Structure 1
Amino acid sequence: MEILSLLGDGIFVALQPLNLLLIFVGVTLGLFIGAMPGLGSVNGVAILLPITFLVPPGSAIIFLAAIYYGAMYGGAISSITLGIPGASTAVATTFDGRPLALQGKARLALVAAAIASFVGGTVSVVLFTGFAPLLATVALSFGPPEIFALMLLAFATFVGLGGDDIPKTVFSICFGLVLATVGFDQISGAPRLILLDMNGFLGGISFLVLAIGVYGIGEMIWTIESTRGEVTNTEAKISVKGIIEDSGTTIKRGWKGISVGSFLGFFVGVLPAAGATPASLMSYGVTKMLSKRPDEFGKGHVGGVAAPEAANNSASTGSMLPMLTLGIPGSPTTAILLGGMVIWGLTPGPRLFVEQSDFVWGLIGSFYVSNLFALIVNLAFIPLFIWMLRMPFTVLAPLIFVLSVVGGYAAMQDMFDIWLLLIFGFGAFFLRKFDYPVAPAVLAIVLGPIAEPTLRQSLLLSSGDPSIFFTRPISAPIMIVAIVLILMPAFKYLRPRRAKPAE
């Protein structure tokens, strides 16, 4: 009852006129920041951080958290309407969101993203409210072996799905892992895979450049080539009745993805150094694995939109938990929020809940309000997003190209990234021509920089003994599940061979 009383006080703080205005403005700004390729929540929060010094610290963190929430919603918009991920957290949404838009079901995809985001955000806030101290303790018990086991499980969900060509999937993952190793070694500091001694490779390959190249330039070239330039406009109708019908379809066909994304996303988000991008990719893979029709994923399945959108919103709240309770940021965006709190004179940690109770519960209360506002604002702007699809492809293709180039340049402001972006775009096009899946490569370049150092740190801790992954109580079951998923395709190949002699 004490928690409910504190939560009620926090929601009352969030509903104060100034805070309510900041929540509305923050969510709206975040929606468009998240939809712009190359920006995302990290850049949006960093750019708008100085504005917060004009308001009290409690209102400032509420405003930045609202931007974070809005950006998580907004990342799906360009993924669905243009096929360009607004941020790394929305890459998995592109897998099924863009095919739905091309089938004339953009409204369904946008509504599914909004509903799943709302449910994922709500579930994560409830879990945050009730289990903050306990979950913070669990997060502390995750060392390098546990995090590596979790990353291996993420790879296993893509290898062991069974719907795609397994050798090609493995090749795609290995190719992505090679790209992830370009640059300086995180442990020894030695340069690796610096092609032709080009200085541009020293900083590594930016995931954002890869994602925009693959899903922006590559998708545009594929659409032009596959349709021979005769691209028909997708359906662009919008009505309140249609939104209600699509909401029912989302719940009916996407409930499994929403459930997986909401819970898995939150627990992955709680882990330091994980964040919303691995959470969304893992949720997509697990949902596809649990589906009765995994072959429909990647072709326009509602669950393929709902799972990553529920996960990235759930993970964004989960990443706040270690920041507030332990002073450990769970994502790059929360690292900026942590810096802001320190500037405002607030010290994150266990004492924060005691010494700054009004601030903490006001922030938690704002999560509930921001989540509701984000849903309303998102649904209200769906007609604008649908309008984008009315443009002829002769106009849309140059727009996609310009947004891709600007988004790729905005991150590091380096022309080298633009050349890489174009190379990845043409490379993704040729991979699709030869039926190689590009999603596993994207997964690998996201998780590779997390998996490799944790693997090496684990082996350093055990003096090179790999049994460390199977002797620790948390990593052992995760490793076993991952190995089973990886071996599943082998069993599927053996079954037909046994059936043939019987026939």
Structure 2
Amino acid sequence: MDFSLLLSSYATVWSNPEVLLMTFIGALGGVLLGAIPGMTATMGVALLIPFSFGMDLIPSIGLLLGIYCGGMYGGSISAILIHAPGTPAAAATLLDGYPMCKKGQAGKALSVAMFASFCGGVIGALVMTFLSPLVADMAMNFGPGEMFMLAVFGLSVIVAISGKSVAKGLISAFFGMLLCTVGLDPTNGIPRFITTKQTGLLDGFQFIPTLIGLFAVSEVIAGVERIIRGEEHEQKSNEKITNVLPDWKTIKKIWPNILSGGLIGTFIGAIPGAGGDIAVFVSYGASKSASKHPELYGTGIPNGVAATESANNGCSGGAMIPLLSLGVPGDSVTAILLGAFIMKGITPGPMMYVTELPTVYRVFAALMLANLCMLVVGCLGVRFFAKIVSVEKKMLYPIILVISLLGAFSINKNAFDVGVCVAFGIIGWLMNKYEFPLSPILLALILGPMCEKNFVRYMNIQRGNFFAITTSPIAMVFATVAILVIVYSVYNQSKINKRTAANAAQEKA
């Protein structure tokens, strides 16, 4: 590594007013877009890429990376405040973020999410800067067998996020896996559980409308039910936000979650085809399993928010690694960035580190700057965002419903998706009533297609010999860790249930 060139690249990027302005605008736009359910970071980058046509490479990359990093954090705002993840990568943030908001700690939850997002992004950027060729080489060892076992490992986290009842969590996950089988078979194109006239379901249930329905619309239905019964109490936030960043005591408590989440996010983000959607649940499950008090997860603690938000922003640096090192985009956003590079006459890949090394180092500096701009935007907006919870519920619920339905419609400009969103809102409301966790459904929807596709590919390559997978060290590591996660999570949950039962018995006595 040429450290003098790296330092000069940082100086060039960080002293350029155009780069600073474009990156800040991108971060601001990303945070605002990410906070709207359905408006993902991918959509934001795709919408604003035409504005980069007349710019030089680094200002345009700064703009797009600002949207990328800002959108990752922005998704947590709606997840924390209104129980509606703005982006799929914020789906796990609401597990502890929304309970914190209900406890009157909206400002604290937002500041923890912002700080963890920044730290996770910095971890991803540092790994990308110093270890990108090494991580890229590791990521390219992932074939269909390894990707299948990665999906199995991800599914094993379901046990950790199932809450009080592992059985109910597994039922929810099974329901999610069944939903994945609707539509065209990904291998041979045969329609499954639909007729040829049901064109809206040819691609299966779209993830974003399902996500919005399960969480946002179900919360609106539950809220309206509480209003009708007279059980809804207006939540006036008396929280005084003196510091927009977490206090030192909170930082000492959450730093292990931030570090582990950033590293997990970077590693999973570097695997082409994986991404923040998977990383957040893996990070949350790992954080809960390693905790001395796993029973507190899901009740509203900063550790859960920190683990997920550091992971999804760590993915931004991770996904850039295969893009720059191999010319292979790590996720949908970096696929758009690949187009931006090619449009500027630069082809990412191994030769980029030989012929375009100054450009590579400037991209490193631009990603670090994007994370810093995201932090500045977050600091400026925390106090304003936290005031949303004080809005009267009779006004807030219709606004949430309209935004949610518009978000569901915006994905494919399809009214059918709005119907899917409403239907899953009713399903989510009923499942919440009977205490079935919703997060396992989401994890199954994310990992189900990945699991099926790679399993079929692997079986075709090995001519039906599944046990050939035992010759892959990477696959066996994932399989072993998955078994350990399941066993430990079941043991942990049984301890939590016994402790809860003992406490309840003492209170009755």
**TM-score w.r.t. length of structure 1:** 0.94
Residues 384-428 of structure 1, C-alpha deviation per residue, up to 9 Å, x if partnerless? 101212210111111110111010001011111111111100101
The 5 A counterparts of 1:123-202 are 123-160=123-160, 163-194=163-194, 198-202=198-202
Contact 1:257–1:307, Cα closer than 8 Å, also in 2: yes
State the distance in 1 between where 2:293 and 2:222 align. Answer: 25
Q: Which amino acid aligns with 1:420?
A: V
Contact 1:112–1:305, Cα closer than 8 Å, also in 2: yes
Q: Which residue of 2 aligns with 1:235?
A: 237
Q: Which residue of 1 aligns with 2:11?
A: 12
The 5 A counterparts of 1:282-297 are 282-297=282-297
Q: Which residue of 2 aligns with 1:410?
A: 410
Offset of 1:327 from its aligned partner?
0.8
Q: Which amino acid aligns with 1:326?
A: L
SS of aligned partner of 1:481: helix
Residues 436-475 of structure 1, C-alpha deviation per residue, up to 9 Å, x if partnerless? 1111011100111211111111122222222133221111
State the distance in 1 between where 2:281 and 2:492 align. Answer: 24
Q: Which residue of 2 aligns with 1:65?
A: 65
Q: Return 5+ residue gaps in structure 1 as ranges.
A: 497-503
**What is the aligned-residue identity percentage?**
35
The 5 A counterparts of 1:21-60 are 21-60=21-60
Q: Which amino acid aligns with 1:352?
A: M
State the distance in 1 between where 2:273 and 2:91 align. Answer: 18
The 5 A counterparts of 1:292-311 are 292-311=292-311
Contact 1:111–1:247, Cα closer than 8 Å, also in 2: no
Contact 1:180–1:204, Cα closer than 8 Å, also in 2: yes
Contact 1:162–1:489, Cα closer than 8 Å, also in 2: no
The 5 A counterparts of 1:4-403 are 4-15=3-14, 16-160=16-160, 163-194=163-194, 198-226=198-226, 228-229=229-230, 230-235=232-237, 237-241=239-243, 243-244=244-245, 246-403=246-403
State the distance in 1 between where 2:442 and 2:161 align. Answer: 16
State the distance in 1 between where 2:180 and 2:250 align. Answer: 35
The 5 A counterparts of 1:457-496 are 457-488=457-488
Q: Which residue of 2 aligns with 1:428?
A: 428
Q: Which residue of 1 aligns with 2:506?
A: none
State the distance in 1 between where 2:61 and 2:117 align. Answer: 21
Q: 1:349 to 1:388 in 2, by over 3 A?
A: same
Offset of 1:236 from its aligned partner?
5.1
State the distance in 1 between where 2:376 and 2:340 align. Answer: 28
State the distance in 2 between where 1:311 and 1:252 align. Answer: 18
Residues 264-296 of structure 1, C-alpha deviation per residue, up to 9 Å, x if partnerless? 010000000001111112111111121222222
Contact 2:223–2:397, Cα closer than 8 Å, also in 1: no
Residues 204-262 of structure 1, C-alpha deviation per residue, up to 9 Å, x if partnerless? 11110111001101122223435634232141544334x35x33343233223212211
SS of aligned partner of 2:292: coil
SS of aligned partner of 2:473: coil
SS of aligned partner of 2:342: helix
**TM-score w.r.t. length of structure 2:** 0.93
Contact 1:265–1:310, Cα closer than 8 Å, also in 2: yes
Q: 1:493 to 1:120 in 2, by over 3 A?
A: closer
Offset of 1:494 from its aligned partner?
9.9
Q: 1:490 to 1:99 in 2, by over 3 A?
A: closer
Offset of 1:491 from its aligned partner?
6.2
State the distance in 2 between where 1:297 and 1:220 align. Answer: 24
SS of aligned partner of 1:349: coil
SS of aligned partner of 2:363: helix
Q: 1:236 to 1:52 in 2, by over 3 A?
A: farther
Contact 1:257–1:303, Cα closer than 8 Å, also in 2: yes
Contact 1:163–1:294, Cα closer than 8 Å, also in 2: no
State the distance in 2 between where 1:218 and 1:86 align. Answer: 15
Q: 1:472 to 1:57 in 2, by over 3 A?
A: same
Q: 1:289 to 1:56 in 2, by over 3 A?
A: same
Number of residue equivalences? 493
State the distance in 2 between where 1:73 and 1:128 align. Answer: 19
After superposing the two structures, state which structure 1 stretch, 450-459 or 487-496, moved more: 487-496
Q: Which amino acid aligns with 2:41?
A: S
Residues 329-364 of structure 1, C-alpha deviation per residue, up to 9 Å, x if partnerless? 110011111112112111110111221222211111
Q: 1:207 to 1:162 in 2, by over 3 A?
A: closer
Q: Which amino acid aligns with 2:88?
A: S
State the distance in 2 between where 1:174 and 1:218 align. Answer: 20
Q: 1:376 to 1:490 in 2, by over 3 A?
A: closer
SS of aligned partner of 1:92: coil
